[in-house]
Amino acid sequence: MSHNTFGHLFRVTTWGESHGPALGCVVDGCPPGLTFTSADIQSFLDRRKPGQSRFVTQRREADEVRILSGVMPSPDGQGHTTTGTPVSLLIENTDQRSKDYGEIARQYRPGHADYTYDVKYGIRDYRGGGRSSARETAARVAAGALARLVVPGVTIRGALVQIGKHRIDRSRFDWAEVERNPFFCPDPGTVPVWEDYLDGIRKAGSSVGAVVEVVADGVPAGLGAPLYGKLDQDIASLLMSINAVKGVEIGNGFEAAEITGEENADEMRMGNDGKPLFLSNHAGGILGGISTGAPIVARFAVKPTSSILTPRQSIDADGQQVEVRTKGRHDPCVGIRAVPVGEAMLACAIADHYLRDRGQTGRLK
Ligand SMILES: Cc1cc2nc3c(=O)[nH]c(=O)nc-3n(C[C@H](O)[C@H](O)[C@H](O)COP(=O)(O)O)c2cc1C
């Protein structure tokens, strides 16, 4: 299975399966001289790790990261400093339960990657889905933690803005709220609604989709490489590479199709700080594939988890008709744990483009 690498100068390769001994990533091209502690990386992995509430999979993984290469002790002795050589990060799998997957070893879960992996490779790691499992996204989050260090002054945050048909009330959007509830929900008023709704979904053995919003503040103007390395193009590609993502929009996205040019125009004025100021941000911080300096805003739609208890019609590897009922521990709404993953992919896209911009234009912004 090829294509496990993304990025040009900040180049990430992930490896490992859901039920193998470990998984991880190699970040090649990480600039030298970045200083961080293991806890800096761990804090992002902790936000993604399973088993943290009744609304996510009950698989128990500590997701403790080990740094194997590419660093030396930092001058203060408290952490690590990158040397510019490949940084290898390892996360052990400790709570595999392969027997849960015995029944689906030869059956194709509708909506999952079982059929397509089989038809393409002729062999499939059915234990937890192997590489199609979102366990792999732990490695992306670890790489994203390093990517966040690359561009000075950038803040990357994510939030869940919709579960099923239940959207947040944007007038109550509060980033501080995101870390106070198990949904990464920025609207305290929506939390009890989601709690009730997801409890029902979970008890019924069902699942539901969601929408995640990710935002990067402080990205300098000028990142992006038109025509075929546009910043929005690369962000969309990386977000779309996350398991279960079925749609991506930048800025106002599909809403742009419904409004007029006057409404959509992000008018400009000179700000008091002598820098251009956009009076709105329908463009999501990107024009012509290049960052404007305004916040970069992207949203992605995550489909409902395909592994559900409700029996669904399918076929097995012999072409026999079967009814599939997936046991095991699954996320009733994968959108929740996709929030830190989306942040990581946005961070990697921006880090890569920052280095590419410096490579081409040769100047600091
Ligand atoms: C954070 C996260 C957790 C996920 N957890 C599950 C899960 O518990 N069970 C499941 O069937 N799919 C889960 N998925 C989705 C599958 O990995 C995904 O649907 C599968 O690889 C097929 O790929 P596709 O949906 O992109 O076509 C999860 C996805 C993400 C991002």
DSSP secondary structure of 38-81? HHHHHHHHHHH-SSSSTTS--------EEEEESEEE-TTSSSEE
- Contact by Cβ (8 Å): 48, 4: no
- Contact by Cβ (8 Å): 52, 182: yes
**What does the alpha-carbon distance between residue 96 and residue 46 come to, in Å, rounded to a whole number?**
18
Q: What is the mean pLDDT of residues 250-256?
A: 98
Is the minimum distance from the CB of 330 to ligand 1 under 6 angstroms?
yes
Is the minimum distance from the CB of 140 to ligand 1 under 6 angstroms?
no
pLDDT recorded at residue 96: 79
Whole-Å CA distances, 304 to 88, 112, 326: 32, 11, 14
What is residue 309's DSSP assignment? S
The model's confidence at residue 363, banded by pLDDT at 50, 70 and 90, is: low
Q: What is the mean pLDDT of the chain?
A: 95
Between 127-131, 254-258, 289-293, 299-303, the lowest mean confidence (pLDDT) is in 127-131
Residue to probe by mutation, ligand 1, list 44, 133, 325, most atoms within 8 Å of CB: 133
Binding residues for FMN are 131-133, 243-244, 288, 303-307, 329
Q: What is the mean pLDDT of residues 191-204?
A: 96
Q: What is the mean pLDDT of residues 172-196?
A: 98
Model pLDDT for residues 317-327, shown as the tens digit of each residue: 999 999 999 88
Is the minimum distance from the CB of 306 to ligand 1 under 6 angstroms?
yes
Is the minimum distance from the CB of 45 to ligand 1 under 6 angstroms?
no
- Whether the pLDDT of residue 364 is over 70: the answer is no
Q: Taking each helix axis from N to C terminus, what angle separates 38-48 and 335-361, rounded to the nearest 10 degrees?
A: 140
How far apart are the CA of 122 and the centre of ligand 1, in A? 21
- Whether the pLDDT of residue 38 is over 80: the answer is yes
